Structure 1
């Protein structure tokens, strides 16, 4: 049944002679009256849903979901991994609190940074999603034109600039999140060499993990390093394994967040270009 037939059926059902009581006083079937109306309502609802789906900023939706997932993974796993690192240092690499007092302050500072990062990205991601709904070309096509206000153009340009700066800052965070993964991976590789002495020509006693070498502890820290079978026993503990995998997960979360920011930049830049170049005018 086409749109013309549905409209004609609806008009016929609204006429007096097709009401519940006809000209001769006989009662008409109520199902015959309500069927065209229900079909019109269903098709209208489907059309409304289709228009909403067409107008949805899918790039912004994907970027927002990826951003929330990445930030949650980075913040949650990073926080627990830093706590595990603190426990490993206290237990195996230094017996003097003054040696790792500064490290603990740094770890606590990073944990507070994680709290702030989670809150900021939740708010900023929501704003970028709202901006995507506002400026996406599909939504503007639904409403019939590309006309927008100067405030709207300025808002889009502001989001592009802020996201660009934020992406550069997050590149540094992404690089920093790779450092503990590198340290733990080197330690794990050393443990693998100790567990399989036939695969290395070095003596087991000379294979060590030195926390001082990476700047984690000062050079006067004692013992500062663990070698041989003692190191192998540390690598087999659940604390080491869990911390190592948590740092890997935090690194993956930082990468996902970086990809989401790049997607936001592309989407926001495209939307701003549409507003700037395809706009037919400006309303104050």
Structure 2
């Protein structure tokens, strides 16, 4: 039997066996080639399937992560988040700048307005007491802001799912009512703090205005020597304190010192911080009241 030339070619994944133009091989050799090629083909296919499985698992994990992030964003209390950031910023600004401004005021009083320690001893005790109160205020508000944020996550999630299977507990409603009451009380107290923080700004502004009149005498008809800053007039020092006031060019030299300028600006920053904290408390109060009202009127309570 004459051996012919085969015109066909055998193909396999990753391996091409070209038999065209070559004499036909015996059946045993073909069987040996197939025995080597088929396992390689099976291994390659298995690796490809394993890679595809890993890709599918990775995509599923990404989808689960995105779904989790979407749920978190849906349940996030954006009003409470903004209020918390504003509260932290305002309290830090008020406490930090207020503390340093009180220290600067103490130095100005004992350097320029009174030479007798007995005259400003009470003022120094009050300043030190306020500084300790500032430490406690900062700690309390940072803790309370975190608690209000956590409570905001709880109540906002409950309100978002109020028509679903979510059930609010009686304990949860009571906790929300407690936070609403505490926030109302803190807002009223902080209104007083905000008003008090405006007093030193007013005193320093009047002193700075007097200095401007001394620096530009053409803007006023009064004599320079009669333009004074009297600490006794504001109750900072007792009336028997000496000298208790600074007038004319001496007052102008005080206003030009870096210590006076820094203290004045620190009191302004503390006032701004108090205003930011007040806005954050009002935001907390509105958000907490709304969430509590929805839970109270529309929520379904349980006994636990």
TM-score after normalising by structure 2: 0.83
Shift of 1:196: 0.6
User: C-alpha distance in 1, partners of 2:213/2:158?
Assistant: 58
SS at match of 1:226: strand
Shift of 1:25: 4.1
Shift of 1:217: 0.5
Shift of 1:143: 10
Shift of 1:277: 1.1
2:135 counterpart (90, 100, 115)? 115
**Mapping of residues 63-142 of structure 1, within 5 Å:** 63-137=83-157, 140-141=160-161
SS at match of 2:229: strand
Conserved? CA contact 1:140–1:146, under 8 Å? no
- Aligned equivalent of 1:6: none
**Mapping of residues 163-178 of structure 1, within 5 Å:** 163-178=183-198
1:179 aligns with 2:190: no
SS at match of 2:161: helix
Structure 2 unmatched runs, 5+: 1-37
- Aligned equivalent of 1:264: 284
1:112-143, Cα deviation, whole Å (9 max, x unpaired): 11011011111111111111111114675299
1:152-211, Cα deviation, whole Å (9 max, x unpaired): 110000000011001000000000000000000000000011111111111111110000
Conserved? CA contact 2:93–2:273, under 8 Å? yes
TM-score after normalising by structure 1: 0.88
**Mapping of residues 1-284 of structure 1, within 5 Å:** 25=42, 27-28=45-46, 29=48, 30-137=50-157, 140-141=160-161, 144-284=164-304
SS at match of 2:115: coil
Conserved? CA contact 2:162–2:299, under 8 Å? no
**Pairwise CA RMSD:** 1.9
Q: After the TM superposition, list the runs of 4 or more consecutive aligned residues in structure 1 that deviate by more than 6 angstroms.
A: none
User: How many residues are treated as equivalent by the alignment?
Assistant: 263
Conserved? CA contact 2:79–2:287, under 8 Å? yes
Q: Which has the larger radius of gyration?
A: 2
Structure 1 unmatched runs, 5+: 1-20
User: C-alpha distance in 2, partners of 1:148/1:165?
Assistant: 25
